[in-house]
Amino acid sequence: MTDFNEAMSATAEAVSEVLDDILEQTEGPENRLLEAMRYSALGGGKRIRPFLVVASADLFGVARASSLRTAAAIEMIHCYSLIHDDLPAMDDDDLRRGRPTAHIKFDEATAILAGDALLTKAFEVLASAETHSNGEVRADLCLAYAKAAGDRGMVGGQMLDIVAEGHDVDVPEITRLQRMKTGALISVSCESGAILGRASASARTALRGYAHDIGLAFQIADDLLDVEGTAEEVGKATGKDEAAGKATFVSLLGADRAREQANMLVEQAVDQLNFFGDKAELLQELARFIVNRRS
Amino acid sequence: MTDFNEAMSATAEAVSEVLDDILEQTEGPENRLLEAMRYSALGGGKRIRPFLVVASADLFGVARASSLRTAAAIEMIHCYSLIHDDLPAMDDDDLRRGRPTAHIKFDEATAILAGDALLTKAFEVLASAETHSNGEVRADLCLAYAKAAGDRGMVGGQMLDIVAEGHDVDVPEITRLQRMKTGALISVSCESGAILGRASASARTALRGYAHDIGLAFQIADDLLDVEGTAEEVGKATGKDEAAGKATFVSLLGADRAREQANMLVEQAVDQLNFFGDKAELLQELARFIVNRRS
């Protein structure tokens, strides 16, 4: 195993432990809610966003206890968005990470509430003194996460995605949509390292540029996987975008040009991090991993 | 109009203005999301929770700009919970505040996303420097609201409510359920005044006791309205609990004892506020209003 792969699994494991701790199960009838929250948040996944939080926080020597709790918060927001995205009224997906989606495993009402509760829990964790001793930092984290996840970020992007189904979309439009839908959460993952570490403006700018590029590369890679991967590899239904006649980077650019574009974005992202010297190696490898993964 | 009624409408109007400002509409396809958020957040309502925030903050001389933004945040959380509660998979309600519910007016996907976005926006507002200059206060607000709205508060109570449909419920169980489902948000409304005003421990205790009692009284009054009110008065379908065979304070205690109980809670709540002397008159009148309202 390379250092990068080792770092990825170590972070994934550490974040799962923190999530296990945060989502402590209680006895009693409300247990069903925690069970559904745990089912979604502890059901595997590559934990790319948590890795971004921890690796970017490491650039500034942030204590692991702080960055891991922040990483748990971003993962809870990501998992909530998956639960709601999978609902019958939305994408109507039955399979996620190789397992039944939350509304199939439980029921629709429980899935809606588990998503709501995970989103809310993320802010509870970010605002808690256990995450950072400084109130300004905690408030800054809450603000950045709310902006990234809200109507001008992830949820706004999901709305755009639904509205886009009804008409032809071009590359600038899909770029904007994806920057909101998936890019905003990836960006704020990197930004949280800078917030936790009270980084300089120039360090923030470098990280922001990196995040901007890998966010889009990540989405293009996802679109390629939807076309080229099998459900077994990817852990969810593939070929769905094409079947739904949905515009993606691949349908608009073709697979070859889409791949070129993703590779170019990754090289650009890697360059932005030269600002940090050798310390940024893991983040640079992550950028390459994002376009080369098979799931 | 009495001073109390005047204060209620003045606060409702001021909060609506702040909400109108926060939920600023933009041009473009994502406008649909803002439209649905505005439909729900600006669609009337008594604004009881915002009133509690502003009136409790007034006890400590908090600037109106701070308390009104905090009040807008609690109202957005309340409105998000109504949107999701009304969904077909949940209570499946078509009518709310005398108008079609969000998923009827728009569609289910838009309603889910509008709820998600309102919850997220609430934290954006609480964490923003415009709401309070002190980061510790902003983080404390985020923490208190997340706890009140999350798995051990409102959402946990909604889950309990769903689980309770399958079996017989007794008074202690329904009390616990309602303290989570509606009580937690009412409590945190009062608590936010204390957080914004950095109140003493004894002032917080008095407010907490008041909130605890009016929260339950409010729910009992709601149950009574469901039995005794007409849809026209109440602005939503009535008689639903009975038709669904759902246990309520009224079905368990009978209307007379339920009313007695509510009145006793209100008197208790009023007494707790004697701590603050004359300054707490509006909050005391609100407690009485809660059990005497017709909608």
Instruction: With cut-offs at 50, 70 and 90, classify the pLDDT of residue A293.
Output: confident
Query: Cβ distance B15 to B71 under 8 Å?
Result: yes
Q: Is A172 on the interface with B (CB under 8 A)?
A: no
Domain range for B224 is 3-292
> What are the pLDDT digits (tens) for B72-93?
999 999 999 999 999 999 999 9
| Residue A76 to residue A120: CA distance in whole angstroms | 9
Question: Tokens 């489902």 — which residue?
Answer: B181
Q: A-chain residues within 8 Å CB-CB of B112?
A: 84, 87, 89-90, 112
Query: Cβ distance A53 to A192 under 8 Å?
Result: yes
Candidate from B29, B117, B127 with C-beta closest to A160: B29
A123–B136 CB contact, under 8 Å:
no
Instruction: With cut-offs at 50, 70 and 90, classify the pLDDT of residue B109.
Output: very high
**pLDDT at A68 (0 to 100):** 98
Q: Quick check: helix, strand or coil at residue B40?
A: helix
Mean pLDDT of B269-291: 94
Q: Is A227 on the interface with B (CB under 8 A)?
A: no
Candidate from B80, B142, B156 with C-beta closest to A139: B142
- Candidate from A36-40, A123-127, A276-280, B223-227 with smallest mean pLDDT: B223-227
Q: Smallest CA–CA separation between A38 and chain B, in Å?
A: 12
**pLDDT at A230 (0 to 100):** 64
Give the ipTM: 0.94
Mean pLDDT of B130-159: 97
**pLDDT at B237 (0 to 100):** 66
Q: Is B158 on the interface with A (CB under 8 A)?
A: yes
Q: Smallest CA–CA separation between B180 and chain A, in Å?
A: 11
Please measure the distance between the N-terminal and C-terminal CA atoms of chain A and give it in whole angstroms. 18
For the purposes of burial, counting CB atoms within 10 Å of the CB of B280, is it exposed (0-12), middle (13-18) or buried (19 or more)?
buried
What CATH number is given to the structural domain containing B127? 1.10.600.10
Instruction: With cut-offs at 50, 70 and 90, classify the pLDDT of residue B97.
Output: confident
**pLDDT at B236 (0 to 100):** 65
> What are the pLDDT digits (tens) for A217-254?
999 998 998 888 766 666 666 667 766 777 889 989 99
> What are the pLDDT digits (tens) for B177-213?
999 999 999 999 999 999 999 999 999 999 999 999 9
**With pLDDT > 90 as the criterion, what percentage of chain B qualifies?**
80
**With pLDDT > 70 as the criterion, what percentage of chain A qualifies?**
94
- pTM, two decimals, is 0.95
Which residue from B140, B129, B134, B20 is spatially nearest to B76, judged by alpha carbons? B20
- The full 3-state SS of chain A, as one line of letters, equals CCHHHHHHHHHHHHHHHHHHHHCCCCCCCCHHHHHHHHHHHCCCCCCHHHHHHHHHHHCCCCCHHHHHHHHHHHHHHHHHHHHHHHCCCCCCCCEECCEECHHHHCCHHHHHHHHHHHHHHHHHHHHCCCCCCCHHHHHHHHHHHHHHHCCCCHHHHHHHHHHHCCCCCCHHHHHHHHHHHHHHHHHHHHHHHHHHCCCCHHHHHHHHHHHHHHHHHHHHHHHHHHHHCCHHHHCCCCCHHHHCCCCCHHHHHCHHHHHHHHHHHHHHHHHHHHHHHHHHHHHHHHHHHHHHCCC
Cα torsion angle, A60, A64, A70, A76, sign: positive
β strands within chain B, DSSP E: 95-96, 99-100
Instruction: Note which residues in 77-96 of chain B have CB less than 8 A from chain A.
Output: 80, 84, 87, 89-90
**pLDDT at A214 (0 to 100):** 95
Residue of chain A whose Cα is closest to the Cα of B144: A124
A126–B142 CB contact, under 8 Å:
yes
Total number of domains constituting chain A: 1
* Cβ contacts from A onto B, under 8 A: 159
> What are the pLDDT digits (tens) for A160-190?
999 988 788 899 999 999 999 999 999 999 9
Q: B-chain residues within 8 Å CB-CB of A121?
A: 146, 150-151
Rounded mean pLDDT of chain B?
92
Instruction: Note which residues in 95-154 of chain A have CB less than 8 A from chain B.
Output: 107-110, 112-113, 115-117, 119-121, 123-124, 126-128, 134-140, 142-143, 145-147, 149-151
Q: Is A46 on the interface with B (CB under 8 A)?
A: no
